[in-house]
Copies of this chain bind each other. A is one copy, B any other.
Amino acid sequence: MVDGTPRVVPTLYARRDDHVLIHGSPAAASLRHLQGGTEVCIAVTLIDGLVLARSAFHHSANYRSVILYGVPRRIDDLAERREALDYLTDRLVPGRLPYLRPMTEREVRATTVLEVPIDEASAKVRTGPPGDDEEDYTFPVWAGVLPLRLEPGEPIPDPRNLDGLQPPDHVRGWKRK
């Protein structure tokens, strides 16, 4: 909330135990506003499929969504912050961390990390086939679910990669959790 108006910021995140980690530049207005004891709302939605019914009215989506409210804690201790950032990287691309040039202290200092406790959350889920009106089940149209999934494509090498480098297994085998 800034001046009474909600602000929405898309961001990467990681759940760790009973809290959610988010991070960003200390210069980002959105993160600065979250450090004064203000409650934040985190919303995550995954779409799992299109629900194709016999009537337009009963079309829907299969999805999983969660919304949580909490007051963020800024992680000030540098060792703890580094650990949280490593965790974020490892959740985003499992297995990549050991390949990377280690984070410098300057980089750790230049990153704000917030930990949002999962105190209160609500989840909504829809699964399964369409639920049509009973009299519509004789209507001759294919009905069902078209599953949707976030899938990785062919890795695109950085034009400045050193010669001969191939995408490692953690890139080739990446899957949405």
Residues of A whose CB lies within 8 Å of any CB of B are 1, 5-6, 8, 10, 12, 39, 41, 43, 45, 47, 49-50, 52-57, 59, 61, 63, 65, 67, 69, 85-86, 89, 92-93, 96-97, 99-101, 103-104, 107, 110-111, 124, 129-130, 136-162, 165-168, 171, 174, 176
Q: Which among B54, B56, B150, B171 is the interface contact of A89 at CB below 8 angstroms?
A: B56
How many angstroms from the CA of A159 to the CA of B41 in the assembled complex? 39
How many angstroms from the CA of A60 to the CA of B50 in the assembled complex? 29
How many angstroms from the CA of A142 to the CA of B10 in the assembled complex? 27
User: Smallest CB–CB gap between A56 and chain B, Å?
Assistant: 4
Asked if B56 and A85 make an inter-chain contact with CB atoms under 8 angstroms apart, the answer reads yes
Most B Cβ at <10 Å: residue of A57, A111, A124 = A57
Residue of B nearest to A159 (CB): B129
Q: Which among B85, B124, B143 is the interface contact of A158 at CB below 8 angstroms?
A: B143
Asked if A103 and B143 make an inter-chain contact with CB atoms under 8 angstroms apart, the answer reads no
Most B Cβ at <10 Å: residue of A154, A158, A171 = A158
How many angstroms from the CA of A63 to the CA of B150 in the assembled complex? 13
Contacts of A152 in B (CB 8 A): 146-148
How many angstroms from the CA of A120 to the CA of B69 in the assembled complex? 27
Contacts of A6 in B (CB 8 A): 1, 6, 41
User: Smallest CB–CB gap between A65 and chain B, Å?
Assistant: 4
Asked if A55 and B145 make an inter-chain contact with CB atoms under 8 angstroms apart, the answer reads no
Contacts of A165 in B (CB 8 A): 140-142
Excluding A53-B100, A55-B101, 18 further A-B contacts by CB distance (< 8 Å) are A10-B65, A12-B61, A50-B174, A52-B171, A56-B89, A56-B97, A57-B104, A129-B156, A144-B158, A144-B167, A145-B156, A146-B152, A146-B171, A147-B153, A147-B154, A147-B155, A148-B151, A149-B150
